[in-house]
Structure 1
Amino acid sequence: MPQDERRPYALPRNPTESERLNAQHHVYVKSLGYVLHPRIAASLPAHRVEIADVATGTGAWMIDLASELPYAKLVGLDMSKAQFQSSVPSNCELQLLNILDPIPQEFQGRFDVVHIRLLIVGLTGEDWNTVARHAMQMLKPGRWFQWCEADFQNMDVLQTKGGSSRAAHEQLWGFARGVMQKHGKLAGEVGRLGEIVRKAGYQNISEDLVSSDRWPEMRREASVVEHGAVAAIAKQFAANLKEEHTKSEQDVEDLCKRCEEEVAEGETYWRWNIKVVVGQKPQS
């Protein structure tokens, strides 16, 4: 199934981005303290478990969990196979699925867990409700949904040394955020994620909220991961949406270089909140 061109993906699909996604996975697991939410893990039977990882990308989350649950079958699903790995553990597989399309019969009512992470740069408006409803269709009655998102709407640029500059970081993010918001993204949905899941009909909902700089030793790694995403988004917009804005590709490249100087000068870093919403499909 091809990528949905009506909702263009804001990030590239190439080896560099795949490396960034794998590093990003480590940042999120370290920040949260788990791969699979402890409430869900405690509820799973010790056999015949099937778990779907929607928008799997490189499959990093699925592959990590495969070693924790060797008895489980894990299915990584994505609208594009461009970042699928050539080999995965024996209890994993990769398939194409656009979660915004009607769910195929083969996936309906099949899974004990449906996991989703970081769709924020791909969804607009009603898409968020569609994702929650379609994930429920994939679940067995009484089973669990885990949705992890980043609150990029309220992302900050911070300094560890007073008096240093962060102007380039703010300009780069202001440009990328402005174009995304013009296309209906970053409209505050992460703040309403619990309500979106509740509206879809899930029960026993809980929310975790942590900061990307929860562990000071992770600030640099998390910032490198996020800067890679912001820079890639800005470069894509500058190259592909020239008629919508005034910044050129060279302007963005210059901002990225200035960001590197700011990091060297004052330990400037990106900070955002990470939210995980867990919900259970009703028994009937």
Structure 2
Amino acid sequence: MASEKPQESVYYLKPGDEERARLNNQHRVLVHIIENELLHAPIDPSTIVKIADVGTGTGIWLDALAAHLDPIPTAIGQPRQYDGLDMSPAHFPAFHPENFHYDVYNILQPVPEGLKGKYDLVHVRLLVSALSKGDVNTAVDNLAQLLRPGGWIQWDELDGESWAGRVPSAHVREMNELVRKHMETKGMELDVPAAFVKAAEAHPRLQNVSERIFNTIKSGPELKDDVNSVYLWSCTTSTKMILQASGTPGAEEEFKRLSEGAKADIERDGIFWDSDEHVLLAQKK
């Protein structure tokens, strides 16, 4: 789902139109889950002039935010600026408005001087499975450096723990356990939302830390098939990569058994993938 640290990440993002389409559909589903709110209270839209989207991918979140914000005048009367930052330019849009800019930046690397204190809002989404333990502290500190005083971090993140025991499919549970063990072996952060709250509350330049939790099932039955598709893709893609990397004899057959079994379980039993999406906020002092 994210690509901030590909050498350790469970998920893998490929270049190409098909992958862009998948990422854009994933955006639509995830925004629906959080009640179609791109900005969350108490962020005041009129104060948001310069925006950075870290791990921007195709830039679709910036496009959606601009459509939401542009009818709202800024408090200082200046036009808004939208910057998409990602460690890979593979999915950057070829064409975009003049007030959009895309650049390469990895949130775990030192913040360039030209970006320090620049933004009113820094948005992050879906770095689960891309961060090792301790990386969240580094990411939070770098995000804080990107902000001007009074600016906000908004981090939309999946709970890598919540659905492990809440999807009634033996095949899904097997895949989840495989992914969990892999992440633990690699020293990766399993609970990014909790790590964010802890890091932000301890940070000397951050205040007003908050968390809202949204559940997939509560998003409504009309989203069931799309939610299942997004989450099953993540689960099976992670499993496939781990099995392939293991070099275990029969890995391909094992992946086929698990992935086809999970799909059959969901279709046969009418399963609605039960998971949580967290919206995490912190304001710079």
TM-score class normalised by the smaller sequence: 0.7 to 0.9
Distance 2:250 2:28 in 1: 33
Inter-CA distance 21–6: structure 2 relative to 1 (3 Å threshold):
closer
Residue 204 of structure 1 pairs with residue 204 of structure 2: no
Residue number among 236, 258, 268 corresponding to 2:241 in the alignment: 236
Q: Give the AA of the match of 2:235.
A: V
Q: CA deviation at 1:199?
A: 1.5
The 3-state SS of whatever aligns with 2:153 is strand
* TM-score, length of structure 2 as denominator length: 0.86
Residue 137 of structure 1 pairs with residue 140 of structure 2: no
Inter-CA distance 195–206: structure 2 relative to 1 (3 Å threshold):
same
Aligned counterpart, 1:117: 125
Residue 184 of structure 1 pairs with residue 187 of structure 2: yes
Residue number among 235, 250, 257 corresponding to 2:253 in the alignment: 250
Whether the 8 Å CA contact 1:157–1:271 is kept in 2: the answer is no
Q: CA RMSD in A?
A: 2.2
Aligned counterpart, 1:59: 59
Aligned counterpart, 1:36: 39
Aligned counterpart, 2:81: 73
* TM-score, length of structure 1 as denominator length: 0.87
Aligned counterpart, 2:218: 214
Aligned length: 270
Identity percentage of aligned residues: 28
Inter-CA distance 200–246: structure 2 relative to 1 (3 Å threshold):
farther
Residue number among 133, 151, 156 corresponding to 1:148 in the alignment: 156
Whether the 8 Å CA contact 2:117–2:145 is kept in 1: the answer is yes
Distance 1:6 1:83 in 2: 15
In structure 1, list runs of 5 or more residues that go unmatched: 160-164
The 3-state SS of whatever aligns with 2:182 is helix
In structure 2, list runs of 5 or more residues that go unmatched: 71-78
Aligned counterpart, 2:75: none
Q: Give the AA of the match of 2:277.
A: I
Residue 262 of structure 1 pairs with residue 270 of structure 2: no
Where in structure 1 do 4 or more consecutive aligned residues deviate above 4 Å? 3-7, 156-159
Once the two structures are superposed, what CA deviation does each residue of 1:10-53 show, in whole Å capped at 9, x if it has no partner? 222224443332222112211112112232134515xxx11000
The 3-state SS of whatever aligns with 2:213 is strand
Distance 1:99 1:158 in 2: 31
Whether the 8 Å CA contact 1:9–1:122 is kept in 2: the answer is yes
